[in-house]
Amino acid sequence: MPDLSSNLAGIKSPNPFWLASAPPTNSGYQIMKAFDAGWGGAVWKTLGVPVVNVSSRYAAVNYRNTRMMGLNNIELITDRPLADNLREIEEVKKYFPEHAVIASLMVESKEQWHQIVKDVENAGCDGIELNFGCPHGMCERGMGSAVGQEPNVLKTIVGWVMEVATVPVIVKLTPNISDITVPALAAVEGGGNAISLINTIQSVIGVDLDTFVPYPVVDGKSTNGGYCGPAVKPIALNMVKNCAQHPDMNLPISGIGGIENWRDAAEHILLGATNVQVCTAVMHYGFGIIREILPGFERYMTEKGFNTMDDMIGKSVNNVKTWENLNLKYKVVASIDEKKCIECQLCYTACEDGAHQAIGLKEVGEGRVPYIIEENCVGCNLCSLVCPVEECITMVRRDDGTEHETWKEYMENDKAPTTFDDDRAGGKHHWVPAPADALKKKK
């Protein structure tokens, strides 16, 4: 059995699966229920200045028959009195001393920061998370993402907190910024102990086509909200990776964004997260999803021979390079397994209209299985992505593996191409049909 115990900047938890600061961590009742179900830690719903919430608050993107592929919210930080939250933090810690309880905070002035840090520490929290991410409402009041988007302000506030904090401090970043490593480095400079990301992404989910009001509707109007859920995972993974790779960003990372099952969690961790936090999936399915995450994750660790979390964290980080370091001599082409093909011709139309005209159809009567026109195939993967049959279109290697050249080397050796004679496609072998041939094709 692998050891799942986790340590983020000194905050220990029985496993790396935490609840993110959000409605599922609104109360001691919910957090105790979650711990009982198997979660290792929880970041309390952000505590801070008094707020008033609106009704309604959420909207979602449904993709085909999948509900809530992406969720958007216009909720603010906690609307429950601070004293109630503090009392409940204390109570939860009494029942679950081994589990991580993190207080998420968001206030304005230095004095307020000092006071609330002391308050939550007195209540017994194991760590503090600074919410510099909320992209609606709070930012209009100069908090949340308004801080996360201003590295200097962020650094200053982290500094204020560090003046009094005695437990580890996690700085939660907003993704609503062009380079995530800038606020991450500001967190380092401010003296923070860890970073967590991502908070929600600014979004408008859609528009009611009858009333012309976007969702969610509040008395005939709407506002931009924060986007999260399965749809945001790729964005989160990229940002986690960027932070993990930055040579000066030496803080551990708590990965957040689009985690629903053991695979999602494993991906965040392989790309450099020390632990992970989950919000939307719990809002969708309840705390019970930990039943799927834990055994799946454990089995994966066992299969890969990871005995501890440290064996696994960041395993993929070095496999992500900048584009200029990729091998330009590597060449794959698509190959169709005729036995598996179900003859939908989605690959054909995708490549024909959306890529490189590298898939052909046989004459009428010769069957519907398409064929690859190798000289035109650039190895883009598109057909294999649209093919509904697992392993039917595979990408097979065509170079012999002996050559390795990168754009960076071209640049360094003054070898930048001056003509369009790319060996793999585009120039030498690749042909593009004449424009008027388009009119001869059947529609």
Partner 1 sequence: MAEYTRPTSEKEVAQNFESIKPLMNPTMAHYESSRCLYCYDAPCVQACPTSIDIPLFIRQINTGNVDGAAQTIYDANYFGNACGKVCPTEVLCEGACVYNNQDVKPIEIGRLQSFATTKVQQENKHLYKAGAPNGKKVAIIGAGPAGISCACELRLHGYEVDIFEAKEQPSGLALYGCAPYKITNKEVLDEMAYLQDQFEYKVHYNYRIETAGQLAELEEKYDAIFLGIGLGNTNTFKLQGVDLENCTGATEFIEQIKLKPLTTAVGKRVIVIGGGNTAMDAASESARMGAEEVTLIYRRSKEDMGAYEFEYDLAKAVGVKGLFSAAPLAIVGKEKVEGVYLVKTKVEDGKVTNEEGSEFLLPCDMVILATGQQKQVTFLEQIEGLELDGKGRIKVDENTFQTTNPKYFASGDAVNGGAEVVNACGEAKKAAQAIHQTLSN
CA distance 155 to 151: 6
Binding mask 190-209 for ligand FMN (x = CB under 6 A): ---------xx---------
DSSP one-letter code for 167: S
Output phi, psi for 362, to 5 deg. -75, 170
In whole angstroms, how close is the CB of 122 to ligand FMN at the nearest point?
21
404 part of the interface to partner 1, by CB under 8 A:
no
- Taking CB within 5 to 8 Å according to partner kind, which of ligand FMN, ligand SF4, partner 1, none is near residue 258? ligand FMN
In whole angstroms, how close is the CB of 193 to ligand FMN at the nearest point?
17
382 part of the interface to ligand SF4, by CB under 6 A:
no
In whole angstroms, how close is the CB of 302 to partner 1 at the nearest point?
10
172 part of the interface to ligand FMN, by CB under 6 A:
yes
Is residue 372 within 8 A of residue 352, CB to CB? The reply is: no
| 134 noted as active-site residue | yes
Binding mask 342-361 for ligand SF4 (x = CB under 6 A): xxxxxx--------------
CB-based contacts of 357: which residues, under 8 Å, 6+ apart? 351, 373, 376, 432, 433
How many contiguous H segments (helices) and E segments (strands) does the chain have?
13, 18
DSSP one-letter code for 142: T
Residue type for position 329: K
The binder of partner 1 chosen from 81, 288, 354, 417 (CB under 8 A): 288
CB-based contacts of 440: which residues, under 8 Å, 6+ apart? none
336 part of the interface to ligand SF4, by CB under 6 A:
yes
Q: Cα dist. 6→81, 273, 295, 312 in Å?
A: 31, 11, 16, 12
The binder of partner 1 chosen from 4, 355, 389, 395 (CB under 8 A): 389
Total residues contacting ligand SF4 by CB under 6 A comes to 15
289 part of the interface to partner 1, by CB under 8 A:
yes
Task: Return contacts of 178-183, CB within 8 angstroms, 24+ apart.
Answer: 179/242, 180/239, 180/242, 180/243, 181/242, 181/243, 181/246, 181/249, 182/151, 183/132, 183/148, 183/149, 183/151, 183/154
45 part of the interface to ligand FMN, by CB under 6 A:
yes
Output phi, psi for 200, to 5 deg. -80, 155
| Part in contact with partner 1 (CB under 8 A); list of ranges 196-204, 285-293, 350-358, 418-426 | 285-293
In whole angstroms, how close is the CB of 387 to ligand SF4 at the nearest point?
3
Burial 376-407 (b: 16+ CB within 10 A, else e): bbbbbebbbebbeeeebbebeeeeeeeeeebb
- Taking CB within 5 to 8 Å according to partner kind, which of ligand FMN, partner 1, ligand SF4, none is near residue 131? ligand FMN
In whole angstroms, how close is the CB of 66 to partner 1 at the nearest point?
8
In whole angstroms, how close is the CB of 280 to ligand FMN at the nearest point?
3
Q: Helix, strand, or coil here: 55?
A: coil
- Taking CB within 5 to 8 Å according to partner kind, which of partner 1, ligand SF4, ligand FMN, none is near residue 257? ligand FMN
Task: Give burial (CB, 10 Å; 0-12/13-18/19+) of 284.
Answer: middle
> Which residues of the chain form contacts with ligand SF4 (CB under 6 A)?
336, 341-347, 370, 386-389, 392-393
Active site amino acids: 134
> Which residues of the chain form contacts with ligand FMN (CB under 6 A)?
20-23, 45-46, 71, 73, 75, 77, 104, 131, 133-134, 172, 199-200, 228-229, 232, 256-259, 278-281
